[in-house]
Amino acid sequence: MTADACVDPAGTVGFYLCRAGQHLRAASVATPRQEARMLLGAAIGVPPEELLRDARAAVAPEASARFAALLKRRLAGEPIAYLVGSRGFWTLDLAVSPASLIPRPDSETLVEAALLAIPDRTLPLRILDLGTGTGALLLAALSEYTNAWGLGVDRVPAAVELARQNAARTGLATRAAFLVGDWAGALDARFDLVLCNPPYIESAAIAGLMPEVARFEPASALDGGPDGLDAYRAVLAGLPSLLAPQGVAILELGLGQGPAVEALAAGFGLDVGPTRADLGGIARALPVKKQFGAATPAA
């Protein structure tokens, strides 16, 4: 497709969407039209779907300049979520920033596994999210467990502030607290549900990830050490003192890491339940308890 195929007049919504779609398609972006709408919507300050109401509406020069800058950054590989400032997760719309990983659909599997492990959504649970990042896992869980209270911990202060913003953004701030910490090292409490998506990429493999991940997302949230298991060791070591008697932890797994993490859990005297696969069929969520077969947390 050439620029001549853009039928709307220059300077209009339709023209900018057409031209941006051409550039994004040439850069092998999987959904060029959708991303063009997202970028132009962010530049103008309107929801992307509103752009389709009038393709011949004029775009103000300042919005055009913002759009050009955003498109340039996207063509350089920067993740679309960082450029538009938000990403959907579970039923929530969350703010994102380079302080944290971008929430991914794969991680929603942990919320599904939690709901299977503790099906009563009315319980007054105490929930802990280790390495909370955007707060995605904790806030998604709180949106389902309507009488629960939760704590998110992250070692990155900017990520903790981002999670606080998302708690307010989603109307969950009265039931969520966040603090800066190195895993659970500073905690002296028991929790009914612990959620954790730890760094699990082997250090040597990070450079081989998709460029938009390797270049733009925080290495500290990706790097799991030489074998990818450093964070699991730290988290599993703390679980015996963190879990309430019938509490359950749900850990996110990297590809093929299930057996190794299960062996680590056994070494700390913990039992593991059956993993839950994500939509791609990859074992993604691993339940861990002090003793499986115990009752779920009592009200």
Report for 41-50, 142-151, 200-209: range of highest mean pLDDT = 142-151
What are the tens digits of pLDDT across the range 52-77? Answer: 888 999 999 999 999 999 999 999 99
Q: Supply the CATH number for residue 62's domain.
A: 1.10.8
| 176 located within any domain | yes
| 84 located within any domain | no
| 85 located within any domain | no
Local confidence band at 113 (pLDDT 50, 70, 90 cut-offs):
very high
Decide if pLDDT at 103 tops 80. yes
173 and 45 assigned to the same domain: no
138 and 281 assigned to the same domain: yes
Please tell me whether 135 is known to bind a ligand.
Answer: yes
207 and 151 assigned to the same domain: yes
Confirm if 234 and 119 have CB atoms less than 8 A apart. no
| 212 located within any domain | yes
Length of the chain as a residue count: 299
Q: Which of 123, 133, 138 is nearest to 177 (CA)?
A: 138
Q: What does pLDDT average to over the chain?
A: 93
pLDDT of residue 52: 85
Decide if pLDDT at 6 tops 90. no
Decide if pLDDT at 296 tops 60. no
What are the tens digits of pLDDT across the range 122-145? Answer: 999 999 999 999 999 999 999 999
Last residue of a domain, one of 76, 109, 124: 76
* pTM, 2 dp: 0.91
Please tell me whether 273 is known to bind a ligand.
Answer: no
pLDDT of residue 144: 98
59 and 143 assigned to the same domain: no
Please tell me whether 154 is known to bind a ligand.
Answer: yes
Please tell me whether 131 is known to bind a ligand.
Answer: yes
Contacts 24+ apart (CB under 8 A), 12-15: 12/55, 12/56, 12/57, 12/58, 12/59, 13/40, 13/51, 13/54, 13/55, 13/56, 13/57, 13/59, 14/55, 14/56
Decide if pLDDT at 234 tops 80. yes
| 62 located within any domain | yes
pLDDT of residue 299: 42
- Percentage of the residues of the chain whose pLDDT score is greater than 70: 96
31 and 128 assigned to the same domain: no
118 and 187 assigned to the same domain: yes
pLDDT of residue 297: 54
| 296 located within any domain | no
Please tell me whether 149 is known to bind a ligand.
Answer: no
Structural domain span for residue 38:
3-76
43 and 121 assigned to the same domain: no
10 and 60 assigned to the same domain: yes
140 and 223 assigned to the same domain: yes
Last residue of a domain, one of 43, 76, 109: 76
- The mean per-residue pLDDT over the stretch 1-21 comes to 83
In Å, how far are 113, 245, 255 from 296, measured between CA atoms?
13, 9, 29
Please tell me whether 134 is known to bind a ligand.
Answer: yes
Decide if pLDDT at 230 tops 80. yes
Q: Supply the CATH number for residue 257's domain.
A: 3.40.50.150
Decide if pLDDT at 172 tops 50. yes
156 and 48 assigned to the same domain: no
| 92 located within any domain | no
| 86 located within any domain | no
47 and 147 assigned to the same domain: no
54 and 152 assigned to the same domain: no
Last residue of a domain, one of 41, 76, 111: 76
Q: Please tell me the total count of domains within the chain.
A: 2
pLDDT of residue 2: 46
Please tell me whether 198 is known to bind a ligand.
Answer: yes
Local confidence band at 4 (pLDDT 50, 70, 90 cut-offs):
low
